[in-house]
Chain A
Amino acid sequence: MFLQLDHIKKSYGTGDNATLVLKGIDLGLARGEFCVLLGPSGSGKSTLLNIIGGIDSMDSGTITIDGELMNQMKEKQLTRYRRTHLGYVFQSYNLIPNLTVRENIEVGAYLSKDPLPVDELLHVLGLYDHRNKLPNQLSGGQQQRTAIGRAVVKKPDILLCDEPTGALDYTTSKEILKLIETVNQTYKSTVIMVTHNDALKYMADRVISLKDGVITNNYLNENKLPAEELEW
């Protein structure tokens, strides 16, 4: 497996206040797989995403990415790991307000020795005409596309998306999902997408459901639908 998680446990708080949010997660993902992590609020899906992303620590367990064990990495190595392997997309875009669309994407390109051509990506993202605009001159969908551009421009092995459509309307959400699908297919990035939206499981190669820190379901989707055809 390209990404392998074994017995991941994570708790918050100490003593009597300690809450176990991940109770021993085991899963494996193949390279280029599109995985949707489903679950209600508090199920531990964002925590799991953050642990995979190396921005949160686990109490026990192991993560192996492309044969490399993440547990033994120090802070500097973790930063290098994120720099080399990961792209992040958040619900709240987190664009740099005083950089243009193009410059925001260049912020991601800077991290890679061999980034995607920015202009070409701007065309793919449908942002070429808006490349010189600042984030506050864009719609929510355009801002999220910029955030996706920033994440994928460095050709990450894994694209981590935390509720990427959470703040968007139906039409814009679909546009964003199509884009993530395109990125997955075009650049062969492994995508792990955290969502509340049950309908999104139909576009995934693999669906993982979490509840109370435990995987309740983990299956490969045999009837995968293109994002275009999703309805909710």
Chain B
Amino acid sequence: MVMPRKSPLIHRIPRELRSDLGKYLVIFILLTASIGLVSGYLVAAESMITAYNDSFEKYHIEDGNFLLSKKANRSQIRKMEELGIQIYENFYREMPLDNGSTLRFFKDRTQINLPCLMKGRLPEKPGEIAIDRMYADNNHLRVGDQISCSSGTFTVTGLVALSDYSSLFQDNNDMMFDSILFGVSLVTAEEFDSWDPDTLRFSYSWSYNTPPRSEEEENELAEDMMKKINAIVSLESFTPRYTNQAIMFTGDDLGSDRAMMQVLLYIIVLIIAFVFRIIIQDTIQKESAVIGTLRASGYTKMELIRHYMASPVIITLISALIGNLLGYTFLKDFCAGLYYSSYSLPTYVTLWNSSAFFQTTVIPILIIMIICFFSLLGKLSLSPLSFLRKNLQRKKTRKAFPLSPRIPFFSRYHIRVILQNKGNYIMLFFGIIFANFLLIFGLALPSVLDHYQEGIGNNMLSKYQYILQFPMSAVKEDMKLEDLLSLILFYSDVETDVEDAEKFTAYSLSTLGEGRYKKEEISLYGIDKKSKYVPLDVTGDQVYISSSYAEKYKLQPGDTVTLKERYEDKTYHFTVSGIYDYEGSLCLFMSQNKLNDLVDLGSDYFSGYFSNQEIRDIDKKHLSTVIDYESLTKISRQLQKSMGSMMYLVDAFSVLIFIVLIYLMSKIIIEKNAQHISMSKILGYNNKEISRLYITSTTFVVIAFLLISLPLENALLRIIFEMFVMTSISGWIPYWLDPMIYVRMFLLGFGTYLVVALLEYKKIQKISMEEVLKNVE
């Protein structure tokens, strides 16, 4: 077999790369960093997802859980198990720690929701404790440290990931988990059993004897079972696994980042492809006569296309290979660290990810190849003679753009330079838009969250909202005498002497989860007609919605909202009378009587207190939730924690892209104008004047582009952010950008440009007068 001969043009490639090392090196670094990061992210995500998915079986994660106000007896357990499930006790106790956080204590698990030991060992004797790894990280706790609470002091013997708490949701109704102020832990059975049963929460986990075959079946099974279990015991809460955020949130979120990272990579690759396109066009312009000679000698278009495509493809290939290598080693650990900073995941094993390799190697190369190919095909379609004559314009410029002679000479010259390089400047515009978008993305989130937190602080209904832990028996249809007595007793126990306290009724309904919105909980507040905390006219049928509800669902007075019972098909329709300025949660306000009537709670029913003073005279066991500043800002705190490091990365990356693009574009523009610059020198212009002519033009353009891009990016980010909050988060965070961010972005962009301009100024000084004589016939 005769091997095809190698084109001698191949020798040019390494020399070409060496001769323009600066340019190619920055492209290489940018591509390698992007590919490496995305590869690392995808590999870490895939490995994490696999570890997460495997954890269901490996750690025997429950199919659901329910909470009872008192321990179920054997007969009740037996009756429940006759429904086709296995019941496991998963009791816990919550205690505030001296560090201000709350820790949930479980007995060491042996049957269900098994723990993954990440470090140290499990507790073996009283006084020892294993705590959640992420909670430990966030509170700077290590193995060997001691933690204190009202029950005593515990020595941390190990760090664990509890398989049913991969996201540390304290309450399944929370908008967001809180891994800083809430954690889970394991103590020995001996220790746990020694605690007063009155302090325990009676949580039971279940697993199906015959697992449901589909999500629909699981849904039906759970809804049916809830009714049947509620007939056996008094349910306080009922949470099938698929609705348990502590288990499912991680899985939903792990996958969602991947698409974003891939899109980010492809945008970067596209920009690089267009940078290559500009470089290629510039090279073709420079080598026009050589190309003409080669074509005249018989080189085919395809041979030359292959040749000019080689450098971009080789750089992309090497970047992809090294990027993947870095992705599978250092960057994978870094990206896994990002996941570990958000979720309490078990240990993972790095898995070979062919799809990640395809996405970070094959697709970038294909993008570069396709764009370079068509760009070259268009350019090289000109006749050999056009190349020999250096006439590469398809359309001849018939007339110069008219500029009034009244415009000062230097200004006219600047305009001519801009017009001559308009193609490169258009590319620069897109580059600035993209780089600045990344930057605004990195800078905006802390601003949004700070504003949200500040807004919540200034806009709370009351400093404290106490929600009572109501016995389920109170809402039973077939209430027995003992239920009635316990209810009367409960009411007398939850009276307070705090004058500031104001009773209200709270009830939860669910949205329908239509369109792009996911199902979420809406709080209904039944308030006193003369409420001092929610000063609204709620006489008659007036129903108000919170401003956050209105913003998220784009609601206005006169609109009708439909909500439904969470575990039933019953729906309610409300006509919005007005909007109440409250951003803390998605809620409806109406008179207490109306709400009590609506959901048949009884005219004297109330479910909690608004108060600006702390209520201390109600036993904590009668309180289900205390809504204060800390609980309302949980979501922003957690987002800041889990996305903070990612944002720094995005900031650094956007600055890098910005530098690279400005550097490349300015370099190409200067190179393209080297002959003119050289000629200007011959004519007697000094370096300063020449820099004014060429760099000032680019400076004007950069300033204009920076200013134009800011409102565009703000608008774009607002759309993306609101879409994200609408579809991914329960509740609402309004988009708000600190005006100082514009200033910072402009200064950062312009500062970056100045550094590049300084480098270019030095380059202009180096352009010799011989340049004009080179390659000129």
Contact = CB atoms under 8 A, between A and B. Distances in A.
Interface stretch (B176-184, B285-293, B624-632, B736-744): B285-293
Given A82-B296, A107-B294, A108-B297, A96 B9 contact: yes
B327 interface: no
A94 B291 CA distance: 9
Given A56-B385, A99-B8, A88 B296 contact: yes
A95 interface: yes
A90 to B, nearest CB: 6
B293 A90 contact: yes
Interface string B375-397: 00000000111001000000000
B8 A53 contact: no
A212 interface: no
Given A95-B290, A98-B19, A111 B12 contact: no
Interface in A130-181: 150-151, 154, 167
B385 A91 contact: no
A17 B156 CA distance: 94
B777 A91 contact: yes
Nearest to B15: A98
A55 B388 contact: yes
A83 interface: yes
A103 B8 contact: yes
Given A98-B19, A107-B8, A87 B289 contact: no
A107 B8 CA distance: 5
Given A91-B777, A98-B16, A107-B9, A80 B298 contact: yes
A96 B16 contact: no
A79 B300 contact: yes
Given A56-B383, A98-B15, A82 B298 contact: yes
**Contact-residue size bin, chain B (C-beta under 8 Å from the other chain):** 20 to 34
Contact of A110 (B7, B289, B290): B7
B305 to A, nearest CB: 13
Interface in B1-33: 5, 7-9, 11-12, 15-16, 19
Interface string B109-153: 000000000000000000000000000000000000000000000
B8 A94 contact: no
A94 B11 CA distance: 17
B296 A110 contact: no
A84 B15 CA distance: 29
A154 B299 CA distance: 12
A151 B8 CA distance: 15
A55 B8 contact: no
Given A56-B385, A98-B19, A99-B11, A111 B290 contact: no
B293 to A, nearest CB: 4
A84 B298 CA distance: 8
Nearest to A95: B290
Given A90-B388, A92-B289, A55 B297 contact: no
A50 interface: yes
A86 interface: yes
> A-side binding surface: helix, strand, loop or mixed?
mixed
Contacts of B293: 88, 90, 94
Interface in A5-62: 50, 53, 55-56
A99 B12 contact: yes
A222 to B, nearest CB: 33
A79 B298 contact: yes
Interface string B350-394: 000000000000000000000000000000000111001000000
Nearest to B18: A98
Given A91-B777, A107-B9, A110-B8, A83 B297 contact: yes
Contacts of A80: 298
Contacts of B19: 98
Given A55-B385, A94-B289, A106 B298 contact: no
Interface in B296-347: 296-301
B93 interface: no
B383 A55 contact: yes
Nearest to A98: B15
Interface string A57-101: 000000000000000000010011111101110111011111110
A106 B298 CA distance: 14
A85 to B, nearest CB: 9
A182 to B, nearest CB: 20
Contact of A82 (B9, B290, B297): B297
A70 to B, nearest CB: 14
B637 interface: no
B634 interface: no
Nearest to B291: A94
A94 B12 contact: no
B776 to A, nearest CB: 9
Contacts of A110: 5, 7-8
Nearest to B294: A107
Nearest to A88: B296
Contacts of B775: 92
B107 interface: no
A154 B8 CA distance: 14
B295 interface: yes
Nearest to A85: B298
Contacts of A82: 296-298
B24 to A, nearest CB: 14
A111 B298 contact: yes
A80 B298 CA distance: 6
B292 A94 contact: yes
A201 B30 CA distance: 60
Contacts of B385: 50, 55-56
A35 B11 CA distance: 36
A86 B11 contact: no
Interface in B250-307: 287, 289-290, 292-301
Contacts of B11: 99-100, 103
Contacts of B290: 94-97
Contacts of A84: 298
Given A88-B297, A103-B11, A109-B8, 9 more contacts: A53-B296, A55-B295, A55-B384, A76-B300, A79-B301, A86-B296, A91-B777, A110-B7, A154-B298
12 contacts: A79-B299, A80-B298, A86-B297, A87-B297, A88-B296, A92-B775, A94-B293, A96-B9, A98-B15, A99-B8, A99-B12, A110-B8
The 7 A-B pairs of least Cβ separation, nearest first, read A83-B298, A106-B8, A94-B293, A55-B384, A82-B298, A98-B15, A94-B289
